[in-house]
């Protein structure tokens, strides 16, 4: 499957992706938090953006798509 952004979109699992260049360093804790967030109920997709970094339990610099649930802990303050 060819993606619009080509090689910069990387699937890490069926529900977890990153959008970043090869030169970008991403903290492993932020990747772990992406996977943890992807396992929440009704979560469909989790995408780490180029500014991805660890937050207090959930990653910052990510987009989340869930169905049938609003998760206020994942919104900006």
Domain boundaries defined on the chain: 6-68
pLDDT by residue (tens digit) across 47-60? 999 999 999 989 99
> Which one, of 21, 22, 25, 74, lies nearest residue 45 by Cα?
74
Does the pTM of the predicted model rise above 0.85?
A: no
pLDDT by residue (tens digit) across 22-52? 888 899 999 999 999 999 999 999 999 999 9
9 alpha carbon, distance to own chain's centre: 11
């Amino acid at each position: 499957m060819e993606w619009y952004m080509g090689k910069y979109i990387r699937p890490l699992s069926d529900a977890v992706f990153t959008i970043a260049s090869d030169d970008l360093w991403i903290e492993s804790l932020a990747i772990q938090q992406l996977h943890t967030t992807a396992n929440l109920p009704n979560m469909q997709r989790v995408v780490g953006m180029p500014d991805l970094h660890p937050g207090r339990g959930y990653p910052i610099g990510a987009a989340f798509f869930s169905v049938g649930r609003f998760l206020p802990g994942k919104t900006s303050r």
